[in-house]
Structures are given as C-alpha cells and as structure tokens.
Structure 1
Amino acid sequence: MNGSISITFGAPEHGWLPVRFCYKDFSLDFEASDALNDPIEELYHAITKLQDNEIRRATWWLEPAAYLFDVEKTESEIHLTIAKTENIHNVDTAQIVLHTITGNEPQIIEPLKLAVQQFCSQAYDEIHWPYKPANYRAENL
C-alpha cells in the first residue's frame, strides 16, 4: 500500500451499512446503524467542507457503541483520528483513540471521496437505507 487509506461500503441491509477500513496493518470491519444519523452524509461534509484548523466528525453508530472518525486539516497535513466509545449515549464513557493517521489530501481525503462517490452511485431501497445518497453533491467530491 502507498500510505493511503482504504475504505469501502457494502450494500446496506435493514439499516445496517457494512464498512471496511484499512490502513497499513490497522483494519476495522463493522456495520453502522442508520438509526441516529447518516454517517455517509457526515463523512461527506467532513471531506468537502473541512477548513484549516477545523475538526469534522463522522459517527458510525454500532448500537450502543460507536466509531468516531475525526478529520482535521492543518496548513500542510490532514489528520484522521479513529476513536471508539462503548456507549455513545453515556457522556461518562471514555472515547479511546484506536489510531491516528497523518498524511496529505491524496492519502486521506481522496480515498474517502472515492468511497462516498461509489456509495452514492448506487440506489438503495428506503427499507435498507432511508437517506438519499443522491442528495450529496457529486461536484463537491
């Protein structure tokens, strides 16, 4: 691998979205729920609206646990911090950082954009995914 991340989304089924994330020897395979949020939309906003010295989050709810993908842009680098909480509803539950990746836009942002583009190019029955991927503007990706 060339230092880039890899993320793929499977076809959602009954509100559960399969996600596979890989970076070097770090990987996550999980299914995110659609019950609290649209994680694809959050990721879309994180990668298309991120400003310098800002952090944007995509929350992947696992019911009740969650993975949290924080994307931060500094003047010259992009940081992707992946954390996990065992209960997103309990503010006293610790968020444990699992991995932080630092790189440039082609290494971090571009693979995320490609994954969102691929996901949005498909049509999903509302019973499986109630959000409308076509609402994310492809021209921003």
Structure 2
Amino acid sequence: MWKFIRNSSLAVIGTSIFLLPSVLPKSTFAQTPASINPSTNNYHIKGSGIEGIVIISPISPIERPGVINYRPYQATITVLNEKGKTVTQFQSGLDGTFRVNLKPGIYKLRPESETNYPRAEEQKVVVSKKEFTEVKINYNSGIR
C-alpha cells in the first residue's frame, strides 16, 4: 500500500521511503565536480579524466515494464593505477554524478562498500589525452 505525503515527492511504504521517479535528476552529468579530496586529486591537470554516474539497483524486488528500478547513488570510489597504487579517491554527488581529472593512462576503479551489499564490481578504464571517459558504476542493492 502506497501512502503519498501531501505536497511532497516522497512515497511511504510501511517504514521505507522512496523517491518518486519525477524527482530523479533529468541530467546525466553534474555541472560541478563531485566531492573530491583535494590533497590527492590532480586539480592542475586540465582536459582529461573520467565522468559519469553511480546508480543502485534494483530498488524494488519486482520489475515492471516502463518503471525505473534504479536510482542515483552517492558512493566512494578509489582510483588505482596500473601498478595497483591509489591515485585518488572521490565521492559521487547526491545525484550520483562525478567528474575527476586524471592524467592519460589505464586505471582501475574500485567502488567502496562497508558491507556485503550494496556492492559494485571493479572496472578498468582508459583515459585518453584531452578526453573524459564516460563511466557508469552500478551498485547491486542485494534486494533480490
């Protein structure tokens, strides 16, 4: 049973609260960089890196045609170089988006999680000179 809160974009099911799809971001990418640790990020490097979105799915155990079953997710991601050394660590925004400057090269993205779920797989990314590589990180919610 759904209970809608008047003048709100929230729906309450029992004690769970879900954002309705109408309040999900319309844009795929953030206008500004996500929260990044300035002591480890290479701000002086312009023009190359990674940008993308972090999502979590499923948000409902039941798939329905035409119904979005994911939402943006704020997560911490560690960036490793080819030798496995940490280059930087960043956090996606509340809307799941991120943009991080990186030198051209091959990197491994390690999505962090303090528990078994939610979790996401590591990804290898290639950053080319003067380009931002698009990345989508999908956390499995473990709901099923």
- Fold equivalence (TM over 0.5): no
Superposition TM-score tier, normalisation by shorter sequence: under 0.3
Relative to its length, the structure with more helix (as a share) is: 1
Bigger Cα Rg:
2
Tell me the TM-score normalised to structure 2 length: 0.27
Tell me the TM-score normalised to structure 1 length: 0.28
Q: Which has the higher contact order (CA 8 A, sep 6+)?
A: 2
Relative to its length, the structure with more strand (as a share) is: 2
